Homo-oligomer: A and B are copies of this chain.
Amino acid sequence: MNSIDLVSNLNQETHSTPEAIKIGNWMQKGGFATMLGIKVEAARPGWCLVSMPITKHHLNSVNITHGGASFSLADFAFGLASNAAGATAVGLNASMSYPAASKDGDCLIAEAVEETRSKQTGNYRVEVRRKSDNEIVGLFCGTVFVRGDLVSQWIE
């Protein structure tokens, strides 16, 4: 999967930084991210792009992607974008809207963008799109509390 292609219409620079990618790879190995199949495509402080292929394990009883699955992808992107600068940020709350659905065989792409960041809090916006047609299936907003410790302490 080519992250340049994924963001070509998002009017964003796509360069990643090594520290952010290292943090992303570590987050990607978490149990929940692994179970859901979440993959980091690109990351730098305050921004990232992550993907999740939809399988039958992501569906609800009417065979569309469960709201919790697309939220989880957005929440992972929120976590990576807010921690990618190296200071630990903890999610306080988040909201999500579901303008459209997705289904088995789709691939979802989430792009997280930092809107504000102060010493103690930060606000992030995440758009979740179907890769095939770029349709928005989720709009997510989240707020973090910034702690004083570093993410690097947790990585090996």
Enumerate chain A interface residues (CB-CB to B < 8 A).
26-27, 29-36, 55-62, 65-69, 71-73, 75-76, 79, 91-100, 115-116, 118, 120-121, 123, 125, 127, 136, 139, 141, 143, 145, 154
B66 engages A97 (CB within 8 Å): no
Residues of B within 8 A of A115 (CB): 99, 127, 136, 139
B62 engages A35 (CB within 8 Å): no
B141 engages A143 (CB within 8 Å): no
B61 engages A154 (CB within 8 Å): yes
B136 engages A116 (CB within 8 Å): yes
14 inter-chain pairs at a CB distance below 8 angstroms, sorted by A residue, are: A26-B61, A31-B66, A32-B66, A33-B60, A36-B68, A67-B91, A67-B94, A68-B68, A68-B72, A68-B73, A92-B121, A93-B143, A116-B136, A125-B125
Residues of B within 8 A of A35 (CB): 35, 57
B72 engages A69 (CB within 8 Å): yes
Interface centre among A58, A123, A127, by most chain B C-beta atoms within 10 angstroms, is A123
Q: Which residue of B lies closest to A27 (CB)?
A: B61
Q: In the complex, which of the residues B27, B66, B97 contacts A92, with contact meaning CB atoms closer than 8 Å? A: B97
Q: In the complex, which of the residues B68, B96, B98, B127 contacts A32, with contact meaning CB atoms closer than 8 Å? A: B68
